[in-house]
Chains A and B, each alone.
Chain A
Amino acid sequence: MNDYEKQGLYVHIPFCKKKCRYCSFYSITSSFSPSSYLDSLFIHFCYLKDRFSFSPVFSTLYFGGGTPSLLDLNFFEEFFVKLNKNADISDLKEVTLEVNPETVNPHYFKGLKGIGINRISIGVQSFDDNILKVMGRIHNSNTAKKSVEQALNEFENVSIDLIIGVKGQEGKRAEEFFDFSLLNGVKHVSVYMLEGEKNRGIAMDDDITANIYTDIVQFLKENGFFQYEISNFSKKGFESKHNKLYWHGNNYLGIGTMAHSFILNEKRLNGIRFYDNTDYFTFINRKFLIGEQRIEYEDLVAEMFMLMLRMNAGVDVSVFEERFGINPIDYFSEILNEFRGYFIMDSRSVRLNLNGMLISNEIFEKILFFNGKIRKKEKDG
């Protein structure tokens, strides 16, 4: 199987103890019933599978939220029993669960491992209590640290999420964003710059955020974490397999309220994105409202190029040409030229440098709305 034929399954768990100020994901904070939700998840799964003729073979699985770690172990046990009946997971390589530091304990981690979870992503956000308060998180730095230690006792592959760009972080050095004692064990770090536009009240000045980000990229590199995407860093071999599917244009199926899916038709060179538009209460009544967006060839090429540019590896020209029948360096030459200081490019690949990543929305805007007229080449077979 080619790498880009691998498929991922995303499961959205829309439950939270409390909404965080900066979060745009869908969640509810009271009166939820995990068992009804679990039943609905698989009805949703079958519905999507039939309607969009999705072949249910998965190599990665990701529980995201919301706060998946609010759920008991038996939820996940039952989930796997059901999944086994509905899908081929014999080649499942990576199973990630997002956890909130406040909701876990050693017993819980042990249990998760026993069920088959093999990667833990912890929403630490910050090791600074003041910052956690500003962001409206329910945990403190001590809990955060403890939860990472507990996870490391059971799991080899532990990732932590951090947010930078919050007011109050001005003047901080890169190392102050991390807990040194944990850096050795942790294999993966995601560093998210808070969006200034949406979070006027709590976001720091853009220039300072950009400087801190640049410092952090360097700091992480010195500590063995290599950047592989705008916001993601890992030790060798510990990149998130599931998340890379998104940026490579692989297929993924998302189940649960507000979950998104994407199927690429390699043969006809177009794609379809579909997503659930139902709130939780409608969802558990097994009524789904599916939004659908067809992505025709021209848009597909643009979107794929844009997504791949998020990664440090950038776009492999020959692979891109093989998959989409077009040489992206030729096709997008106008944009590559306009922003030439922001790209690293040779005949085999093109990628963004760090400053390019920082202003990537400017470049992506041009790519997404590029109107170079191209004709779709029908692929054989």
Chain B
Amino acid sequence: MSKELIRNFSIIAHIDHGKSTLADRILEKTQAVEKRDMKEQILDDMDLERERGITIKAHAVTVKYQAKDGKEYTFNLIDTPGHVDFSYEVSRSLKACEGAILVVDASQGVEAQTLANAYLAVDNDLEILPVLNKIDLPAADPDKVLEQIEHVIGLDTEHAVLVSAKTGVGVDEVLEKIIEVFPPPEGDENNPTAALIFDSWYDPYRGVVILTRVFDGRIYPKMKMKFMATGKVYEVDEVGIFTPKMKKTKELKAGDVGYVIAGIKNIQDTKIGDTITEDGKECKEPLPGFQEMKPVVFSSFFPTENTQYDDLRDAMEKLKLNDAAFVFEPETSDALGFGFRCGFLGLLHMEIIQERLEREYNLDLISTAPSVEYKITRTNGEVVYVSNPSKMPEAQYIQKIEEPVVDATIVTKSDFVGPILQLCTERRGIQKRLEYLSQERVLIEYELPLNEIVIDFYDRLKSVSRGYASFDYSIAGMRESNLVKLDILVNGEIVDALSVIVHKDKAYYRAQALTRKMKELIPRQMFEVAIQAAIGRRVIARTTVKALRKNVLAKCYGGDITRKRKLLEKQKEGKKRMKAVGKVKIPQEAFLAILKVNEDQK
């Protein structure tokens, strides 16, 4: 088959703008899937993905399209993850394409993720086909949205298509435009092999399945392939495409998108962004853009019951099999005992892992407040990276601390600009751009410390904008800051798992809010519990949980005894979900108190 008849493309969009629905329609129109077999959003196959409406893993489907010019084309549709946490994976998926369909909701217009995704596509030199979705909605205003796409993103909208993925209107035109707008792949199958890994996962029966785009040369069974970043060599067992079911093929050659199976047991060997070449007949240089995936958000997980430690480790090992970006190492906390320090690509990634551990593996976890990795220069000049507040060197040994910052993009209604600017200022942001997209829509760009983002920024943004703000960010580097470690003491003992790093100017306020919240969250016990917040040895805030005075069932006659039994059982179960720190029982939520501190109570 001629490369002229191949089109490799992605669909990119802001969440809920209809990316998956459009993908479903394309699959339907190309008869990859019978209409009666259609599950809603067929590409999202993991429960959690479906539930949250977010794509976590990349997918690729190969379909045939009978075009109006009488020729049969092969479309490789690559579905990208839909969240900022996975932006490196998104960029690698885009790298595998020549074009991207940019779906924009015709009633909502350009949102933060629209911008972020469009810029990623531009960075990867893709042709972009704007598609305005949901034109069936009464509130749709295509002209205005086209104007925004031209003006804000700077894209030519000459080929833009108006569709309703829901009703199917315009989808045929999209299929034709794909052929017209997106170029066919280049490359030569006779060159040495160069193929990009843009995703991989572990299949318990077949080992690691690699998703790849071949740029030059070929991949075929029995071939000795080599991963250029890791240097590992494997013999290929099988190659094929997704239709969307896995279908074996003879080979994958330049321009193709498909899967490779080679009996690989360890997903760490198949790094996303790495280049596959042929052992002994290597391509000159790897495809550009490879990076090690580095965790940016950290949290510690402890089992509520110490006896679950081994179960927790086993469960995390299993998750890691399929998630090269998730890292963890054993950690011992004075307060919480044995657990693990874990690193994630972002907050969503963290939540997903935590949810899977609790749901799929039935574990009761205590997690500590999310933190970021600080670069610390000691007074002796030595540089260390610290992602766990409790491991922070004492203040007198620190020459300077640098923290990661992000470039944040927010799109909102003009009514909410004031409160959002205030929030960003409170969070130590530096304004970079403020632009009216239209009379009522505003684009705001800020540089913000990541540690301010991981502490409930998104929830606060939603609340100050009443949900009318979209948000995206990318890591932008390190910035020196005046940061201190805030310790929390419960009955005089530092609870290491509760320590947080905060900006010095905000330490007092944070300490007040945090101790107040802890007081709310820690139930009264048989004795008084003192909660203090301290910087170094200096206590800057204090509250007390008074001793329990009353817990009594007033009526206990014949019929009440069964009720009483149930009540006491519930009482006991409630305590089981708490962690004993010394004699004090602390509920799970208290370890995340900092996330629940409402800044309105200033």
Q: Which residues of A contact B (CB under 8 A)?
A: 10, 12, 24-25, 64, 192-196, 206-207, 209-210, 213, 230-231, 243, 246-247, 252, 254, 258-262, 273, 275, 293, 303, 307, 310, 339, 357-362, 364-365, 368-369
Contacts and interface: CB of A to CB of B under 8 A. Distances in A.
Which 4 A-B residue pairings sit nearest by Cβ, starting from the closest?
A192-B554, A260-B559, A210-B550, A361-B551
Contacts of A254: 558-559
15 contacts: A10-B558, A64-B557, A192-B554, A194-B554, A195-B554, A206-B549, A207-B546, A210-B550, A246-B561, A262-B561, A273-B562, A303-B561, A361-B553, A365-B572, A369-B569
A209 B550 contact: yes
B549 A364 contact: no
Interface string B548-582: 11111111111101111101110110000000000
Interface of B: 526, 546, 548-559, 561-565, 567-569, 571-572
Given A307-B556, A339-B526, A365-B572, 20 more contacts: A25-B559, A64-B557, A195-B553, A196-B550, A206-B549, A210-B549, A246-B558, A258-B559, A261-B558, A262-B558, A358-B549, A359-B526, A359-B549, A360-B551, A361-B567, A361-B568, A362-B548, A365-B568, A369-B568, A369-B569
Given A254-B559, A275-B559, A193 B572 contact: no
B528 to A, nearest CB: 13
Contact of B565 (A10, A213, A368): A368
B177 to A, nearest CB: 60
Contacts of A258: 559
A230 B568 contact: no
A357 B552 contact: yes
Nearest to B549: A210
B552 A193 contact: yes
B552 A360 contact: yes
Contacts of A261: 558
Dominant secondary structure at the A interface: mixed
Contacts of B552: 193, 230, 357-361
Contacts of A209: 550
A260 B561 contact: yes
B559 A252 contact: no
Contacts of B551: 358-362
Residue among B549, B555, B559 with most chain A CB within 10 A: B559
A260 B562 contact: yes
Nearest to A10: B558
A209 B562 CA distance: 25
Contacts of A25: 559
Residue among B546, B554, B555, B558 with most chain A CB within 10 A: B558
Contact of B572 (A247, A252, A369): A369
B527 to A, nearest CB: 10
Contacts of B548: 359, 362
Given A24-B563, A365-B571, A193 B557 contact: no
A361 B571 contact: yes
Contacts of B565: 303, 368
A207 B549 contact: yes
A314 to B, nearest CB: 15
A156 B571 CA distance: 41
Residue among A246, A254, A307 with most chain B CB within 10 A: A246
Contacts of B555: 192, 231
A252 to B, nearest CB: 6
Given A206-B550, A357-B552, A243 B557 contact: yes
A247 B563 CA distance: 15
A310 B557 CA distance: 11
A246 B557 contact: yes
Contacts of A369: 568-569, 572
Contact of A231 (B526, B554, B569, B572): B554
B562 A247 contact: no
Given A230-B554, A359-B550, A368 B568 contact: yes
A129 to B, nearest CB: 23
Contacts of B549: 206-207, 210, 358-359
Contacts of B562: 260, 273, 275, 293
Contacts of B572: 365, 369
A362 B526 contact: yes
A310 B553 CA distance: 10
A364 B526 CA distance: 14
A259 B559 contact: yes
A20 B12 CA distance: 58
A195 B550 CA distance: 10
A31 B564 CA distance: 31
Contacts of B564: 364
